[in-house]
Amino acid sequence: MPRPLDARALAALAANPGCRRRALLDGAGVDKGALAEALGSPSAAFGQSQFAIARGNTFESRVKSDGGTELLRLLHEHTGGEAPKDAAVPDLAAAGPEGRAARTALALREATAAGGWTLLDHPMLALEVAGSPAYLEPDAVVVAPDGRWTVVEIKSFPMIDAAADPSKVGAAARQAAVYVLALERVAGLLGDTPGPADRVAHSVLLVCPKDFSNLPTASLVDVRKQLSVTRRQLARLTRIEEIADALAPGASFALDRPAPELTETVESVPAAYAPECLAACELAFHCRDRARAVDAVTALGRGLRAELGGLGGLGGLGGLGGLTSVGAVLDAARGRAGDPSDPAVAALRRAAALRAEALEGAAAGGAVCR
Ligand code: SF4
């Protein structure tokens, strides 16, 4: 049975927009963890331990206790406007995700019309992805008296001196951007004014434990960049047929197929491995082994990949044309390969010459000191 897409999977897609392999597998609903095992690689384990999940749940309950008084105070502290009081917390229970999504849409409409503060605790949002609905459940959505809808993400990693681990904030922002996108769809269906982009706030409230305590603190995180990346990725997902067209006729990801056949099919879809995959994709160990086996420059990280792509002027993966392996890049830099009229090769040689000059200077300086 195909695996439904959730916010984490959609956010991970946005984190690695160049990976056609992940786009195809997620679009087809393939269980990548099981696929990794079938390929003979361990499934990359990520996510939280049971202890961390329990601690996170306790913190979330604390933040939302007393009708969400503290949560609304934190939001008001960052956004201003009318002071929160007597917030409504509608019951969003309904049968199945479809029913819960419909109930949430109704609650959003009623809350907006009522004009007060409303806290939607674990609403359900539907977002059409590659032709089928994905159901997403943010921690909370707050409707303010001015009709603005704000996504709230509650995380258990600490905010120390008002700053949290940037990689964790980045992951939370990508996830929240998916919720904002789904909320804009609901706002679009309401068909009222202002339009969806003005109705839904593009800054989300990130709530975390303050320093090393259990007290909540918050900051507003601007997710406009993540929103546009996610939009672009989802638009690409709808063209998954194009990626699938490149597969050999009869190719299949059925897990009971012999490992060599399955490997061949997986390898026929281009990937964009980067070390960041280890924290976001179950196929990371498999893709890392393959990237290392061909000495791929991409395995050295996205920063380097972007810089090399920038040199080649083609942006990102494969931007250096034939210079996709570390060995080929070094040969080009040392003048052993590559066309000197290629701007990428010229830039690499310039960099190598500057490095040699700097090393010579350092050696000469050392001789004088002695
Ligand atoms: S681990 Fe492989 S399939 Fe997953 S995102 Fe990275 S390159 Fe793509």
CB contact burial 109-123 (16+ within 10 A = b; e otherwise): bebbeeeebbbbbeb
- Alpha carbon 370 to its chain centroid, in Å, reads 53
Tens of pLDDT along the chain (370 residues) come to 566 677 877 877 777 777 889 888 887 888 898 999 999 887 766 666 778 788 889 999 999 999 999 999 999 999 988 888 889 999 999 999 999 999 999 999 999 999 999 999 999 999 887 666 789 999 999 999 999 999 999 999 999 988 899 988 988 999 999 999 999 999 988 776 666 668 999 999 999 999 888 899 999 999 999 999 888 877 776 567 777 777 888 888 888 888 899 999 999 998 888 888 888 889 999 999 999 888 888 788 777 766 665 443 333 333 445 677 888 888 988 998 888 888 878 888 999 999 999 998 888 776 554 4
> At CA 169, angle to CA 164 and CA 171, rounded to 5?
150
DSSP class per residue in 117-170:
-EEEES--EEEEETTEEEEE--SEEEE-TTS-EEEEEE--S-BBTTB--HHHHH
- How far is Cα 324 from Cα 173, in angstroms, rounded to an integer? 31
For residues 23 and 233, the answer to whether their CB atoms sit within 8 Å is yes
**How big is the CA angle at 16 (ends 252 and 322), to the nearest 5 degrees?**
80
Q: Any idea which residue has 């601007």 for tokens?
A: 222
Is the minimum distance from the CB of 271 to ligand 1 under 6 angstroms? yes
Q: Is 230 helix (H, G, I), strand (E, B) or coil?
A: helix
Report DSSP state, residue 200.
B
Q: Could you tell me the distance, in angstroms and rounded to a whole number, from the CA of residue 326 to the centre of ligand 1? A: 19
Nearest CA to ligand 1 atom 3: 22
Is there an atom of ligand 1 within 6 Å of 277 CB?
Answer: yes
Report pLDDT for 70: 94
User: In whole angstroms, what is the distance from residue 216 CA to residue 207 CA?
Assistant: 6
CB 25 within 8 A of CB 35: yes
Query: Does residue 32 line the site of ligand 1, with CB under 6 A?
Result: no
Q: What is the pLDDT of residue 50?
A: 78
- Cβ of residue 284 lying under 6 Å from some atom of ligand 1: yes
Report whether residue 283 contacts ligand 1, using a CB cutoff of 6 Å. Answer: yes
Q: Is residue 124 a contact partner of residue 101, using CB atoms and an 8 Å limit?
A: yes
Enclosing H/E stretch for 221: strand 216-222
Entry pTM: 0.71
Length of the chain: 370
Query: Can you tell me which residue has the tokens 């997403």?
Result: 136
SS3 92: coil
pLDDT at 78: 93
Determine if ligand 1 sits within 6 Å of the CB of residue 177. no
Q: Is 311 in the pocket of ligand 1 (CB under 6 A)?
A: no
What local confidence, expressed as pLDDT, does residue 367 receive?
54
| Closest ligand 1 atom, residue 284 Cα | 1
**Amino acid (one-letter) located at 362:** A
Domains of the chain with bracketed CATH: 50-235 (3.90.320)
pLDDT value at residue 2: 62
C-alpha 262/C-alpha 322 separation (Å) is 27
Stated as kind and residue range, the H or E segment containing 203 is strand 203-209
The alpha carbon of 302 and the centre of ligand 1 are apart by a number of angstroms equal to 13
279 Cα to the center of ligand 1, angstroms: 10
pLDDT of residue 54: 86
Amino acid at 211: D
CA 37 – ligand 1 centroid, Å: 15
Pocket-testing residue among 8, 19, 174, 265, ligand 1, by greatest number of atoms within 8 A of Cβ: 19
Q: How far is Cα 303 from Cα 277, in angstroms, rounded to an integer?
A: 14
Calculate the average pLDDT of the chain: 85
pLDDT given for residue 178 in this prediction: 93
User: Could you tell me the sign of the dihedral formed by the alpha carbons of 4, 6, 132, 235, in that order?
Assistant: negative
Cα 276 to middle of ligand 1, angstroms: 9
Give yes or no for a contact between 218 and 74, defined as CB atoms under 8 angstroms apart: yes
3-state secondary structure (DSSP) of residue 179: helix
